Amino acid sequence: MTTCGHIPCLEAVAERLDWYEHRAAKAAAEGSDGLVSGGGGSARADGEATDTARAGHDGALLPGIPRKARGMGIACLLHVGGGAKIYKSDGCGTLIKVDDFGQVDVYTGSMDIGQGLDTILRQIVAETLGVDTGRINIVMGDTDVCPWDVGVHASRSTFIAGNSALGAAQQVREQILTAAADILQAPRESLDLSGGMVVCADDPEKSTKLDKVLRRAHFASAGNTMFMAAHFYEPDTDLMAGDFKGNYSMTYTWGCHGVEVEVDTQTGQIEILRYIAAHEVGRALNPLLVKGQIYGAALQGVGYALAEEMIYDQGRLLNPNFRDYKMLTALDSLPVEPIIVEDPDAAGPYGAKGIGEPGLVPAAPAIANAVYDAVCIRLRKLPMKSEEVLQAIMRKEGREVG
């Protein structure tokens, strides 16, 4: 635990959720001298540890638990964050070319399916070439001109496609600076690309606009230089074969989700009051996109935990449409509080890791833990529908379930 990102994520969620105060109040109400409960329901009823909770009044079905009982739950995750070699190649190719005016075309084998890869690749290439993102044109999805990529899965695109784009951009950067050293008559090591300029540290007067250097290199009598490069990034990982042994990702993403729920013990209804999601993502290249991924994945996880179910009868799917397959909609959304924990990864592009799927992983166990904290019932089947919860409460009480 001390060598991974779980600790800072746990600490962040516990602090934001007031976890320690909750456990202390719960232990005090149960007469325990520790912070970890040995069982029983939560001491929190409508936000307070009250005598009502211990006496089992307020229409409670379970002794010692109020009708509407609150509980908190936490669940942690680890997930591949640097690709996942489930095929013989987990790589991605990128082609980059720069025109005489500093406009950059990036041909990537990967694909943006709404996760924001287009923006991330623009940022990576722009940062490497010292230009504004407005100069970067991303071309994807055209198999006539784009190179190969294994596919958009396993939360791999920022890491794998990003490293591929970074490698190609670094080659182009070196080409430009080598040409600029000859044109400006300056040592190569004194030159840098920044703000659309070729900057000379030794002699600032030699600094000039990038597009001027590009055109001078193109139209030089001895050159006609073109600035373009190709790079294929293949992660140094093990193929996930039949023995399921080996390191099949270049890095791993860590996270922790904390949930506070209120369970109605007369109906089984679960209401999520607070949802906090902390993720260690390496370096957040675009914090807004990272938060967007956390929001979406957490809400999908809530739907997985509480509503979504495929019902079969002798192998036949009984709810094969979105009328009968209950998914959450915008009306069911809840305020997710994302926490970004940064620890740049040396293998990632500018320290980044993948974050697409991890936000989905701990949602159901965190909610199940919160329900257990509230009513001391361990639910092990998804989704945790209200009727399932109510039946579990009735069995706990010793009542007959119809």
Can you tell me the distance from the alpha carbon of 13 to that of 10, in angstroms, rounded to the nearest whole number? 5
Task: Choose between 284 and 398: higher pLDDT.
Answer: 284
Could you tell me if 27 and 35 are in contact, meaning their C-beta atoms sit under 8 angstroms apart? yes
pLDDT beyond 70 at 50 = no
Region 79-108: mean pLDDT is: 95
- pLDDT of 321 reads 95
**What 3-state class would DSSP assign to 193?**
strand
Residue 171: is its pLDDT beyond 90?
A: yes
Instruction: List, in order, residues 6 or more apart from 393 with CB less than 8 Å away.
Output: 61, 62, 265, 268, 375, 377
Q: How many CB atoms are located within 10 Å of the residue 178 CB?
A: 14
Identify residue 369 by its one-letter amino acid code.
N
Cα(57)–Cα(69) distance, rounded to whole angstroms?
11
Express each pLDDT in 205-249 by its tens digit.
999 999 999 999 988 877 668 899 999 999 999 887 777 788 889
User: What per-residue confidence (pLDDT) applies to 6?
Assistant: 74
117-139 pLDDT, tens digit per residue, is 999 999 999 999 999 999 999 99
Closest by CA position to 170, among listed 140, 138, 130, 133: 130
Is pLDDT of 60 > 80? no
Q: Which amino acid, residue 255?
A: G
The answer to whether the beta carbons of residues 307 and 337 sit under 8 Å apart is: no
pLDDT tens profile 250-299: 999 999 999 999 999 999 999 999 999 999 999 999 999 999 999 999 99
Q: Give the residue, 397 or 357, on which the prediction is more confident.
A: 357
What's the chain's average pLDDT?
A: 88
* 47 confidence band (pLDDT: 50, 70, 90): very low
Amino acid residing at 388:
E
Q: What is the CATH number of domain 92-233?
A: 3.30.365.10
- For 264: left if phi > 0, alpha if psi spans -120 to 50, otherwise beta; the answer is beta
Averaged over 111-122, what is the pLDDT? 95
DSSP run (H or E) holding 218: helix 210-218
Asked if 282 and 344 count as a contact pair (C-beta separation under 8 A), the reply is yes
DSSP strand E in 151-269: where?
Answer: 191-194, 197-200, 208-209, 227-233, 252-264
What Cα–Cα distance (Å) separates residue 319 from each residue in 104, 196, 287, 312?
A: 49, 56, 38, 8
The answer, yes or no, to whether residue 98 has pLDDT greater than 90, is: yes
* Intervals of CATH 3.30.365.10 along the chain: 6-81+251-397, 92-233
pLDDT score recorded for residue 62? 55
Q: How far separated are the first and last CA of the chain, in Å rounded?
A: 45
Indicate the range of 20-24, 102-106, 159-163, 299-303 predicted with least confidence.
20-24
> CA-CA distance, 146 to 155, in Å (whole number)?
21
Q: What tokens appear for 251 in the block?
A: 């890095």
Q: Is the pLDDT of residue 203 over 90?
A: yes
What is the distance, to the nearest Å, from the Cα of residue 325 to the centroid of all Cα atoms in its chain? 26
Q: Write down the pLDDT at residue 31.
A: 61
Q: Give the pLDDT band (50/70/90) at residue 58.
A: very low
Is the domain 6-81+251-397 a CATH 3.40.50.300 member? no
Query: In the sheet that 270-280 helps form, which strands lie side by side, from edge to edge?
Result: 68-80, 252-264, 270-280, 336-341
The alpha-helical segments, DSSP class H, found in 269-332 are 287-306
Q: What is the pLDDT confidence band of residue 397, given thresholds at 50, 70 and 90?
A: confident
User: Which pLDDT score is estimated for 41?
Assistant: 37
DSSP 366: H
CA 291 distance to own-chain centroid? 8
Mean pLDDT within 323-344: 92
pLDDT bucket at 26, cuts 50 / 70 / 90: confident
| Sheet with strand 136-139: strands edge to edge | 136-139, 104-108, 92-98, 227-233
Peptide bond preceding 383: is omega within 30 degrees of 0, i.e. cis?
yes
The pair of structure tokens assigned to 330 is 């915008």
What's the chain's length in residues?
Answer: 402
Between residues 71 and 66, the one the model is more confident about: 71
pLDDT attached to residue 304: 95
